[in-house]
Structure 1
Amino acid sequence: MKPTLAALLLLTVHAMAANPVMPGADPHATIIDGTLWLHPTRSKGGGTFLAFSSKDLVHWQERGPILDFKDIPWVAADGRAKHGAWAPCLVAKGGKYYFYFSAGPQDPTHPSRIGVATGDSPAGPFKDSGKPLLSGGNGFEAIDPMVFINPADKRPLLYAGGSAGSKLRVFELKPEMTSILREIPVETPPQFTEGAFIHHHGSLYHLTYSHGNYRDDTYSVHYATSTSATGPWTYRGVLLKSDDRHKGPGHHAIVEDPKLGWLIVYHRWEAKGPGPYTGSRQIAIDRITYGADGFLKPVMQTDEGVSR
């Protein structure tokens, strides 16, 4: 019996599924109307951001630039010649999309900053709010924004920080999503370096974050839980770490796919040895699951990846 054309096409799609899915780093992942959207660190010709979307997790459409630093006067106002467009985050609320981003790097005279821009689509274009949302300094590096709307009370919370001070800070945003209402004092969880991500599942808030140096094999994802979105945190160990051929996995997002279940989207180096590594980091997608105890189970990096 010969396979139908539809079956052959399905086999072809699955045969094409592979990790890594594209060059890039610091991917924020969101599922919108069944489409997976990625907003990574991946600049084209300077301080720009791009977006990528896929319905099957195999074929990706590039959009953008969706935001360009040349259109944001406050970025260049610090006098630095070049700025890194890093580690964005996308949040939908009230029919609008809010795009949070890092403008770095940081040094003693030029602190890093986090900005926010608004658009009508995850593909942009996004219009900046006109001012930084948060600035670094005094031992705190304002990078790696993660905005989470707490399902318990609908308050928008901004998680930020890492690297220079390895400090996590949490802020409640005003309902309009583009300014800070107040800071909420929190403890920094064990082994925290940067790249916080939080989601709610079961009765717990699951906080995952990067640890180590992003250029070597110490970079990894660690895990803590709490019954509150702001801690205190119970440390749960290492979730994702280097193996023989895939090094420095980190700065990730966790999403629930309507067909595949829970996925972790992260960057890694396709390399051997302890590092430091050079070249381009790569974005990979793998499955992540919960155990019978309700906690996330350690993730194995794969070359196969996932597809619908």
Structure 2
Amino acid sequence: MRLFLPLILLISPLTANPVMDGADPHAAVVGRTFWMYPTEPHSREPIFAAYRSADLRSWRREGTILDLDKIPWVKADGAPYHGAWAPALAEKKGKFYFYYSVGPQNPTPSRIGVAVGTSPAGPFTDSGKPLLTGGDGFEAIDPMVFTDPATGKSWFYAGGSAGAKLRVFEMADDMVSFKREVDIEQPKNFTEGVFMHVKGKTYYLSYSHGKWNDSTYSVHYCTAPSPTGPWEYRGEILGSDDKHQGPGHHSFVEDLVTRQWYIVYHRWETGRKDPPYRGGRKIAVEKVDYDLKGLIKPITMTDGRQR
């Protein structure tokens, strides 16, 4: 029997944090609308969905945008089950590109695919082959694509977990293939879940550190003068506290009207430090502030409605 989630999440606009179930949220803004693409909660199907919001608090599920069961190359590895997690969205020249992780990671290697659409709500059509395949100590997971507003070049970032290795590529013009791989230094304390954003002339490479399913999971970051480094490690900005554990696998998004930045991430709602935790991961949103030097101030996790 196939299990389906309702098309609309009934979340009151008077509530916030956590905003919904799920993990690995990639947030993006298109016009004045916020979009989010998480690892789906409570689903036994390898699918992805798009969520829409006007205020980062109340989210509407727009329906399934990609089903791995319908993509022939996904099953080519012969694995009995395929997981779908950690997606990312990029927009360029009027098209939208959806990058996603395909498991398992063992015994067959993880892979990253890419699909193309004309709307952030989908539907997306897969490119027909994996963009990147893991192996030799590298796990092809957690894709992120950043287009540099200064140059127009698009950069692809992926990797981490057990291999804890980050790889960076310059995207080709078609956004579904690579032009070249760039040799980079490995960021300090990098584990997985990388994200890139720019503010002014400073590039911020942020990522998760620690073990994904315990209280060591946290968000760290570096700054750089370009999308490919060199990185200057700046430390941890989001970590476990006495009410929430394992915050991480995040994205940054800017409200283009107020110019306020936010971090969208997942966490466990518990004070217990040692797993296993009861209940699944929850997605939350916090304001992000920068000091006069452009450094990100430590982020405090909140509950309930925020002003």
- Which residue of 1 is the match for residue 144 of structure 2? 146
**Number of residue-to-residue matches in the alignment:** 294
- Which residue of 2 is the match for residue 100 of structure 1? 99
- Measure, in 1, the Cα distance between the counterparts of 2:298 and 2:185: 24
- Which residue of 2 is the match for residue 266 of structure 1? 265
- Which residue of 1 is the match for residue 289 of structure 2? 289
Cα distance, 1:305 vs structure 2: 5.0
2:236 aligns with one of 215, 220, 238: 238
SS of aligned partner of 1:77: helix
* Cα pair 1:197 1:207 within 8 Å, conserved: yes
* Cα pair 1:20 1:305 within 8 Å, conserved: no
Query: If you compute each CA radius of gyration, which structure gives the higher value, 1 or 2?
Result: 1
After alignment, is 275-284 or 197-206 more displaced? 275-284
- Measure, in 1, the Cα distance between the counterparts of 2:126 and 2:108: 20
Cα distance, 1:304 vs structure 2: 3.0
Cα distance, 1:15 vs structure 2: 7.5
- Which residue of 1 is the match for residue 66 of structure 2? 67
- The runs of at least 4 consecutive aligned structure 1 residues that moved more than 2 Å come to 56-59, 304-307
- Measure, in 1, the Cα distance between the counterparts of 2:110 and 2:263: 27
Q: 1:259 to 1:152 in 2, by over 3 A?
A: closer
Q: How far does the alpha carbon of each residue in 1:194-224 deviate from its partner, in whole angstroms, 9 at most, with x for none?
A: 0000111122111100000111000000010
* Cα pair 1:198 1:205 within 8 Å, conserved: yes
- Which residue of 1 is the match for residue 84 of structure 2? 85
- Measure, in 1, the Cα distance between the counterparts of 2:150 and 2:57: 35
SS of aligned partner of 1:235: strand
- Measure, in 2, the Cα distance between the counterparts of 1:305 and 1:260: 20
After alignment, is 27-36 or 270-279 more displaced? 270-279
* Cα pair 1:186 1:231 within 8 Å, conserved: yes
CA RMSD of aligned residues (A): 1.5
SS of aligned partner of 1:74: helix
Q: How far does the alpha carbon of each residue in 1:125-178 deviate from its partner, in whole angstroms, 9 at most, with x for none?
A: 111000000000000000000000112221111000000210010011101100
- Which residue of 2 is the match for residue 197 of structure 1? 195
- Which residue of 1 is the match for residue 302 of structure 2? 302
- Measure, in 2, the Cα distance between the counterparts of 1:306 and 1:162: 33
Q: How far does the alpha carbon of each residue in 1:79-100 deviate from its partner, in whole angstroms, 9 at most, with x for none?
A: 1011110100001111111000
Scaled by the length of structure 2, the TM-score of the pair is 0.92
2:25 aligns with one of 24, 27, 30: 27
1:130 aligns with one of 123, 128, 131: 128
For structure 1, list consecutive stretches of 5 or more residues without a partner in the other structure. 1-12
Q: 1:134 to 1:15 in 2, by over 3 A?
A: closer
Q: How far does the alpha carbon of each residue in 1:55-112 deviate from its partner, in whole angstroms, 9 at most, with x for none?
A: 12232210221000011111111010111101000011111110000001212x4110
Cα distance, 1:20 vs structure 2: 0.2
- Which residue of 1 is the match for residue 45 of structure 2? 46
Cα distance, 1:120 vs structure 2: 1.1
Q: Percent identity over the alignment?
A: 56
Cα distance, 1:17 vs structure 2: 2.9
SS of aligned partner of 1:16: coil
SS of aligned partner of 1:37: strand
Q: 1:14 to 1:49 in 2, by over 3 A?
A: closer
For structure 2, list consecutive stretches of 5 or more residues without a partner in the other structure. 1-10
* Cα pair 2:12 2:58 within 8 Å, conserved: no
**What letter matches 2:154 in structure 1?**
P
Cα distance, 1:282 vs structure 2: 0.3
